[in-house]
């Protein structure tokens, strides 16, 4: 760092030297020390005697001078050489300098200024001038510095300025000047050192000969205009040029290769009051093309800031840059560079800012970047980078800004990430694992954006204590756990987005986030009521709470006065806000509160009196204990779930007309619930809910939805989405409704595999099924397969193993050997059941078919036919469909049966993972689709 600082100091010094030289050359002496030939006390005559009095009075007359800077001293009874901000030459009372920088003058420039024929310095920087630049300034043949920047001057640049042939510094930047740069501007400007026309509205081409006669030029800033066309070649032939800024124009064409061969070029830009080092050969808005010379001709040894961003440069990142030892800032973002991230960048010891985003960089982030100890900003976003974020980035102690978004990065977030204070942006990658606790130490950090990854575990509590944090976006990950009770550490937070995770718990009852404008907690599993204080957060204008388990009254006022139903839907038990279509909050029925406790379902379901299917799991059913109120004496339910009473009514007292299916430890009934809403929710005891949590959180297209639960000591029920088209048993083993074709069966198996993959790998906790079989695969109205009964063994019996004692003869055929004999349930035992089911689907033979006796199991039967006689085990109905020869058919069938065999290996270790099963099946489907 010390060397960097030195570089930064040296250049302003050089500049100061140049400026001193300039000032000395102009024969200007500051007025305070200026000996003047005019008699100081001479009352009136001295002022009028000068030919310059008239022009100065004319200048004063056209401005309003609100601070009165001129009013007191610019009076005719004092010599003009004593007027404030006016300097005269040694020999005559002629004005050589008029310097009023930062004085608000507010007015137009008079053309009489052109009469100050001895004027050498005219500095009216930042004086609120408007109107046009008088053409008469072209008559000031002795003018060396014309400094009119940071005003509101408009109109065209007068071509007559080209006549001022001793001009050295011309700064007209930051005005509203328009039209083209006049070609005459620098025809006689052999002395010009600096031209700054930046931040105006100049248009047209840069005159090709503009820099032909300016051999001393060392500073050019034409940035932020509307200039178009090519960069004149003459720019590159200026032997002393040190600074060139053409950024923010509409320039196009190929950059003259000589531009990359300016040995003195190092770059200077005037920002505020200090000279800093920035070189922008070109930047955003331009449309420059062609490769930057990759080798050899790239010769900018003094360069310390190169900005080529936002153009169409292509090819590889020029290795010539490695010969720029003083390089501090390199910005080549948003071009078409195709390359790996060069490791030679790690040799640039002063590199401070590195912006390579928006190119086609591939490979991984080099670990040697850990050598760039001066680096404060690193942007590699929007490339094709893969691999992990190297832990070595943690060595970058000065890094404040890390932007790696929109790549293919995987793996965990390294636990050490320097001193980030501005931005940590890793969104849209494939990162997984937890957020390292150490991120909570980055107390200066302002932005954390980790959305759209596969990050999981709880969110470190320390993250909510980052007092400087403005934006926190953790959406679209798999973060679990509860929201912290106290968010008030995020004092500066403007935006908090935690949507689409699996967060639990309730919204904290209060937090003093007075700056908060946006809060998105949608698509989580957040419960409880919506705290009323959210309506008190003055700046909160965007609130999204949809798809959670919130209940009770929707508050009024504040953000809720403009909220739309989209921000609240998907919460089964909200009420109030009737204009949004929510039902009114009913008063609690006080007369006999024991009598009625009613189901709250999603509003849509509630109002159509949905047909729902009720699974009843009854271990010990004491019907006789039901008292007149419809509740069992042991009923300890205080929370709002379906009551036994409701179910009794809905299923016509569990009438045998209604069962949909019977298992050894459960019965399935179809029922119609009439629903009434009771919004006076009592404090919930959530023991059963907690157990059900995994099930209710499991949301997948191919899983049956758990809508609600009902439980007491003796009785447990799950209310499930109704599946009108029955189970897979029916089409597989009965001929009555036609049969499933090969592709349909493959689709069903894929659907089931995706549901199982989700339970095993995609959910925030592993859910074992323990009882996968065709009767647990149900079809909705579109014949999409949904897996039912998942996780039920754990829910009801504590774990899968208890199921063995409650085992049913019909299910044994699907049980993995180690599960049946040793009681070892695992993901791999589910894979076994899946494999058996797959074999059943394509053979239409139940694993307990009478033909499978003794040593002969369905697996062995298929195995002995594999691979050449598979047509002999295929479901006969599929065989009849087949048009191909037996030989082709066996070839066709072998991948699917092979998968079934692989899933049903005796050894759990040899069975595939569910995630690999899905991949294999999808590939298979593609190749089948191509071959038919």
User: Which chain residues interact with ligand NAG by CB under 6 A?
Assistant: 54-55, 58, 102, 104, 112, 115, 126, 150, 252, 287, 289, 312, 343, 346-347, 368, 371, 510, 532-533, 536, 541, 558-559, 561-562
Distance CA 651, CA 669 (A): 7
Which C-beta is closer to ligand NAG: that of 551 or that of 678?
A: 551
Cβ-based neighbours of 854, under 8 Å, separated by 6 or more:
none
Which residue in the shown chain puts its C-beta closest to ligand NAG? Answer: 54
Q: Let me know if 157 is exposed, middle or buried by CB neighbors in 10 A (0-12, 13-18, 19+).
A: buried
- The sign of the CA dihedral 595, 599, 605, 607 is positive
Q: What is the DSSP letter of 186?
A: G
User: What letter would DSSP give residue 914?
Assistant: H
Residue 209 beta carbon to ligand NAG: minimum distance, rounded to whole angstroms? 24
How far apart are CB 278 and ligand NAG at their closest, in Å?
17
Q: CB-wise, 153 or 874, nearer to ligand NAG?
A: 153
Minimum CB distance to ligand NAG, residue 715 (Å): 39
Q: Which two tokens stand for residue 143?
A: 């003018």
For Cα atoms 32, 35, 36, give the angle at the middle one, nearest 5 degrees. 105
Our CB check for ligand NAG shows the closer of 576 and 813 to be: 576
**Which CB, 183 or 394, lies closer to ligand NAG?**
394
**What is the signed CA dihedral for 475, 481, 486, 492, rounded to 10 degrees?**
-20
Angle at 136 (CA atoms; ends 130, 137), nearest 5 degrees: 75
Tokens of residue 540, six digits? 């909160």
Output the furthest CA–CA distance in the chain (Å, rounded): 132
Whether the upstream peptide bond of residue 867 has omega within 30° of 0, thus cis, is yes
Residue 919 has which token pair?
Answer: 């991949």
| Beta carbon of residue 510, minimum distance to ligand NAG (angstroms, whole number) | 6
Q: 497, 678, 751, 771: which is the annotated catalytic residue?
A: 771
Q: Give the nearer residue to ligand NAG in terms of CB position, either 438 or 536.
A: 536
Q: Judge whether 336 and 361 are in contact, CB under 8 Å.
A: no
* Shortest distance in whole angstroms from residue 69 CB to ligand NAG: 10
Please report how many Cα atoms fall inside a 13 Å half-sphere around the Cα of residue 310, on the Cβ side. Answer: 14
How, if at all, do strands 502-504 and 360-362 pair?
unpaired
Phi/psi class of residue 77: alpha, beta or left (left: φ > 0; alpha: ψ in -120 to 50)?
Answer: alpha
> Minimum distance between the CB of residue 375 and ligand NAG, rounded to whole angstroms?
13
Which structure tokens are listed for 558? 């504040």
User: In sequence order, which residues have a C-beta less than 8 Å from that of residue 112 and are 6 or more positions away?
Assistant: 54, 55, 58, 59, 136
Q: How far apart are CA 818 and CA 100, in angstroms?
A: 92
Separation of alpha carbons 77 and 53, rounded Å = 11
For residues 483 and 600, which CB has a smaller minimum distance to ligand NAG in the complex?
A: 483
Query: 41 CB contacts (<8 Å, ≥6 apart)?
Result: none
**How many residues comprise the chain?**
932
Closer to ligand NAG by Cβ: residue 7 or 58: 58
| 827-843 and 742-757 helices, crossing angle to 10° | 170
Phi first, then psi, for residue 328 (nearest 5°) are -110, -40
Nearer to ligand NAG, 421 or 536 (CB): 536
Neighbours of 472 (CB within 10 A): 23
Is 39 or 67 the residue whose CB approaches ligand NAG more closely?
67
Distance separating alpha carbons of residues 803 and 830, to the nearest angstrom: 14
What contacts 872, CB < 8 A, 6 or more positions away?
865
- Least Å distance, CB 273 to ligand NAG, is 7
> 410-411 and 430-433: which strand pairing?
parallel
Angle at the Cα of 267 from the Cα atoms of 263 and 271, rounded to 5 degrees: 170
- Closer to ligand NAG by Cβ: residue 416 or 510: 510
Asked if 123 is an active-site residue, the reply is no
Nearer to ligand NAG, 102 or 799 (CB): 102
DSSP 738: -
Closest approach, Cβ 111 to ligand NAG, in A, equals 8
Question: Cβ(569)–Cβ(547) under 8 Å?
Answer: yes
Contact 496, 518 (CB under 8 A): yes
- Least distance from ligand NAG to the Cβ atom of residue 320, Å: 17
Q: How far is the CB of 758 from ligand NAG (least distance, A)?
A: 38
Question: Please, which residue, 100 or 862, has the CB nearer to ligand NAG?
Answer: 100
Spell out where 129-218 has E strands. Answer: 129-132, 145-147, 152-155, 169-171, 176-180, 194-196, 201-205
Report CA 57 to chain centroid distance, whole Å: 60
Task: Pick between residue 151 and residue 571 the one whose CB is nearest to ligand NAG.
Answer: 151
CB of 541 to ligand NAG, least distance (A): 5
CB of 344 to ligand NAG, least distance (A): 7
Which residues have a catalytic role annotated? 771
């Amino acid at each position: 760092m010390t060397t960097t600082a030195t570089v930064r100091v040296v250049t302003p010094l050089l500049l100061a030297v140049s400026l001193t030289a300039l000032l000395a050359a102009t024969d200007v002496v500051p007025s305070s020390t200026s000996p003047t030939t005019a008699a100081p006390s001479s009352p009136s005559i001295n002022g009028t005697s000068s030919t310059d009095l008239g022009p100065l009075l004319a200048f004063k007359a056209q401005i309003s001078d609100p601070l009165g800077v001129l009013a007191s001293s610019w009076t005719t009874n004092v010599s003009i050489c004593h007027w404030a901000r006016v300097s005269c030459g040694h020999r005559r009372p002629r004005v050589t300098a008029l310097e009023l920088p930062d004085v608000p003058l507010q007015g137009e420039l008079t053309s009489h200024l052109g009469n100050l024929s001895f004027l050498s310095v005219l500095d009216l920087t930042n004086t609120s001038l408007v109107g046009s630049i008088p053409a008469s300034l072209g008559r000031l043949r002795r003018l060396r510095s014309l400094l009119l920047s940071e005003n509101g001057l408009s109109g065209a640049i007068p071509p007559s300025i080209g006549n001022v042939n001793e001009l050295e510094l011309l700064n007209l930047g930051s005005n509203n000047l328009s039209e083209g740069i006049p070609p005459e501007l620098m025809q006689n400007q052999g002395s010009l050192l600096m031209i700054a026309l930046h931040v105006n509205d100049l248009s047209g081409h840069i005159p090709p000969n503009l820099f032909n006669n300016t051999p001393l030029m060392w500073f050019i800033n034409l940035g932020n205009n509307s200039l178009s066309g090519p960069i004149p070649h003459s720019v590159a032939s200026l032997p002393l040029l040190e600074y060139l800024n053409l950024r923010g124009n509409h320039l196009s064409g190929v950059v003259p290769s000589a531009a990359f061969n300016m040995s003195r070029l190092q770059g200077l830009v005037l920002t505020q009051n200090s000279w800093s080092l920035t070189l922008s050969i070109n930047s955003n808005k331009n449309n420059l093309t062609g490769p930057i010379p990759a080798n050899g001709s790239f010769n900018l040894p003094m360069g310390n800031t190169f900005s080529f961003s936002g153009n169409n440069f292509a090819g590889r990142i020029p290795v010539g840059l490695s010969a720029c030892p003083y390089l501090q800032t390199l910005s080549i973002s948003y071009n078409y560079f195709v390359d790996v991230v060069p490791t030679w960048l790690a040799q640039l010891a002063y590199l401070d800012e590195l912006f390579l985003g928006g190119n086609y960089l591939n490979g991984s982030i080099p670990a040697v970047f850990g050598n760039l100890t001066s680096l404060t900003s690193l942007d590699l976003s929007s490339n094709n980078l893969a691999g992990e974020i190297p832990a070595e980035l943690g060595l970058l102690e000065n890094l404040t800004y890390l932007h790696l978004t929109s790549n293919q990065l995987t793996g965990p977030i390294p636990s050490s990430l320097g001193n980030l204070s501005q931005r940590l942006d890793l969104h849209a990658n494939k990162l997984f694992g937890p957020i390292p606790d150490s991120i909570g130490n980055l107390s200066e950090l302002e932005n954390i954006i980790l959305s759209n990854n596969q990050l999981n575990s709880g969110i470190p509590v320390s993250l909510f204590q980052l007092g400087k944090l403005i934006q926190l976006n953790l959406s679209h990950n798999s973060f679990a756990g509860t929201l912290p009770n106290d968010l008030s550490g995020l004092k500066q937070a403007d935006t908090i987005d935690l949507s689409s995770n699996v967060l639990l718990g309730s919204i904290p009852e209060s937090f003093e986030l007075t700056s908060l404008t946006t809060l998105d907690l949608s698509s989580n599993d957040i419960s409880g009521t919506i705290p009323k204080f959210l309506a008190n957060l003055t700046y909160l204008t965007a609130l999204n709470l949809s798809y959670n388990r919130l209940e009770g009254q929707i508050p009024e006022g504040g953000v809720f006065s403009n909220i739309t139903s989209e921000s609240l839907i998907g919460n089964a038990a909200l009420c109030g806000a009737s204009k949004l279509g929510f039902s009114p909050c009913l008063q609690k029925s006080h007369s006999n509160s024991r009598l009625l406790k009613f189901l709250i379902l999603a509003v849509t379901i509630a109002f159509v009196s949905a047909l729902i299917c009720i699974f009843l799991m009854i271990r010990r059913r004491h019907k006789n204990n039901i008292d007149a109120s419809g509740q069992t004496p042991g009923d300890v339910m205080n929370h709002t779930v379906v009551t036994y009473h409701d179910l009794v009514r809905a299923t016509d007292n569990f009438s045998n007309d209604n069962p949909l299916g019977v298992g050894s430890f459960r019965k399935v009934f179809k029922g119609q619930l009439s629903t009434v809403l009771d919004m006076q929710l009592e404090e919930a005891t959530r023991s059963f809910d907690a157990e059900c949590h995994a099930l209710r959180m499991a949301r997948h297209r191919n899983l049956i939805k758990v809508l609600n639960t009902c439980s007491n000591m003796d009785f447990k029920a799950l209310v499930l989405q109704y599946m009108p088209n029955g189970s897979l048993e029916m089409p597989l083993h009965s001929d009555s409704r036609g049969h499933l074709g090969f592709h349909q069966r493959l689709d069903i198996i894929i659907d089931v595999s995706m549901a199982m993959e989700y339970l095993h790998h995609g959910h925030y906790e592993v859910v074992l099924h323990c009882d996968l079989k065709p009767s647990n695969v149900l079809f909705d109205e579109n014949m999409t397969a949904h897996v039912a009964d998942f996780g039920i063994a754990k829910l009801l019996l504590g774990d899968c193993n208890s199921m063995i004692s409650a085992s049913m003869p019909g299910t044994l055929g699907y049980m993995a050997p180690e599960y049946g004999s040793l009681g070892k349930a695992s993901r791999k035992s589910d894979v076994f059941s899946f494999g058996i089911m797959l074999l059943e689907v394509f053979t239409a033979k139940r694993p307990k078919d009478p033909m499978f006796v003794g040593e002969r199991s369905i697996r062995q039967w298929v195995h002995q036919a594999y691979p050449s006689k598979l047509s002999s085990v295929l479901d006969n109905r599929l065989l009849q469909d087949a048009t191909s020869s037996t030989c082709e058919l066996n070839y066709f069938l072998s991948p699917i049966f092979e998968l079934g065999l692989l899933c049903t290996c005796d050894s759990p270790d040899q069975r595939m993972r569910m995630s690999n099963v899905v991949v294999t099946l999808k590939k298979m489907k593609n190749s089948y689709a191509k071959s038919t």
